[in-house]
A and B are shown apart, each in its own frame.
Chain A
């Protein structure tokens, strides 16, 4: 077993925790929103801030560092490879978005919800929409890591971009629909 293989396992494990965890927060957010229970939404907002700072951000940093070490350690890959450049740009975008906006905004929205602020609902919907867009970027990184697109293979690039645009469009449509609806009443089923 080589250092490369160990690093690869660590890199994949950190990516799994980071991206899969982000998706799970989205799904719990949907469940909490459907309940119409402000206390539940507030608690989730605070949980997400806690988890983001102590799990997702460290996992993303470790995924990045191990990714760098993998390229350094590898005899086959280099920092000039298209898929590595794509992944690094996407990573920088999502990392900065998370640390500068999504994490802090989640805490703010949690506190606004607990205070019963009328701004809380629309802010939560916007946060959810932007978090989902962030998730699309993360999945593009997974696409880059597995398919390893390069400029010479336009198909692999176009499929990735097309998929991301379709996902983003659907998410924006859902966001506009949610904004237009009145807040749901508390539900027993939730």
Chain B
């Protein structure tokens, strides 16, 4: 068992936590919205805010750090498309998701629980959910790059 194997295990584990958790969060959001219960939607919003900062953000940082270690330890070149596209995609999604969407979801969830639903809040939730789904697609596209490694 080499250091590379360990980094790969940790890297893949962190990806599982981040993307798999994000996917499950999307499904829970659909179910909460279908329930029509504003208290449930509010609680989910607060939970998602918590998960984003305490679970997804640390996982994304571990993905990046172990990705760097894998590139260095595995003898990959930083000019490989799957490497620099992966870094670019990670940076873009992380900045947007943790810098904006996370805070908004928590805030909207709290307002919905306190004030009840409104068309304006529902529209905001819809936009945030759509953004989160786009980020998830980008992350799965990165998984595609990592597994197929085009150009190698």
Contact (Cβ within 8 A) B27 A55: yes
In the assembled complex, how far is the CB of residue B36 from the closest CB belonging to chain A, in whole angstroms? 12
Chain A: interface size category? 35 or more
Judged by a CB distance under 8 angstroms, whether B79 is at the interface is no
Binding site secondary structure of chain B: helix
Judged by a CB distance under 8 angstroms, whether B120 is at the interface is no
Contact (Cβ within 8 A) A51 B24: yes
In the assembled complex, how far is the CB of residue A3 from the closest CB belonging to chain B, in whole angstroms? 11
Given contacts A20-B21, A24-B24, A28-B47, contact A43 B35 (CB under 8 A): yes
Judged by a CB distance under 8 angstroms, whether B84 is at the interface is no
Partner of B143, one of A13, A40, A143, A149: A13
Q: Which residues of A contact B99 (CB under 8 A)?
A: none
Judged by a CB distance under 8 angstroms, whether A159 is at the interface is yes
Alpha-carbon distance A33/B25, docked complex (angstroms)? 18
Q: A1-23 CB contact bits vs B (8 Å, 1 = yes)?
A: 10001101100110111111111
Binding site secondary structure of chain A: helix
Interface residues of B in 35-94 (CB under 8 A from A): 35, 40, 43, 47, 50-51, 55
Interface residues of B in 1-47 (CB under 8 A from A): 1, 5-6, 8-9, 12-13, 15-25, 27-28, 31, 35, 40, 43, 47
Alpha-carbon distance A134/B40, docked complex (angstroms)? 28
Contact (Cβ within 8 A) B25 A24: yes
Judged by a CB distance under 8 angstroms, whether A175 is at the interface is no
Partner of A16, one of B35, B40, B143, B148: B143
Partner of A142, one of B13, B19, B21, B25: B13
Judged by a CB distance under 8 angstroms, whether A85 is at the interface is no
Contact (Cβ within 8 A) A24 B50: no
Q: Which residues of A contact B23 (CB under 8 A)?
A: 16-17, 20-21
Alpha-carbon distance A113/B75, docked complex (angstroms)? 54
Judged by a CB distance under 8 angstroms, whether A50 is at the interface is yes
Judged by a CB distance under 8 angstroms, whether A176 is at the interface is no
Alpha-carbon distance A50/B28, docked complex (angstroms)? 10
Q: Which residues of A contact B24 (CB under 8 A)?
A: 17, 20-21, 24-25, 51, 55
Pull 11 A–B residue pairs with CB atoms less than 8 Å apart, ordered by A.
A1-B150, A12-B12, A13-B143, A16-B16, A17-B19, A17-B23, A24-B20, A40-B43, A50-B31, A142-B16, A146-B5
Interface residues of B (CB under 8 A from A): 1, 5-6, 8-9, 12-13, 15-25, 27-28, 31, 35, 40, 43, 47, 50-51, 55, 140, 143-144, 147-150
